[in-house]
Amino acid sequence: MPLGIASWQMEAIALDYQFGSLLLPTLAPVALWLLLDREFFAAFDWGAAGGD
């Protein structure tokens, strides 16, 4: 390996890069919304999805 980095370490770096640049900017606003607007989501009856 160049630089003395194992292949699994290079895979971990690539995964961290993708998580930080693709997933985190997408999921962070949704997570923040869920945390700040709990009353809105509490209004939903999540158990009623069974379709009685």
pLDDT digit string (tens) for 20-45? 999 999 999 999 998 999 888 888 77
Q: How far apart (Å, rounded) are the C-alpha atoms in residues 34 and 40?
A: 9
Q: Which of 5-9, 11-15, 26-30, 40-44 has the lowest mean pLDDT?
A: 40-44
CA distance to 8, 24, 26, 28, 31, per residue, from 35 (Å): 35, 16, 15, 11, 6
SS3 content of the chain, % helix, strand, coil (to 5): 85, 0, 15
Please give the residue that has the higher pLDDT: either 10 or 51.
10
User: What was the pLDDT predicted at 44?
Assistant: 79
Query: Does the pLDDT of residue 52 top 80, yes or no?
Result: no
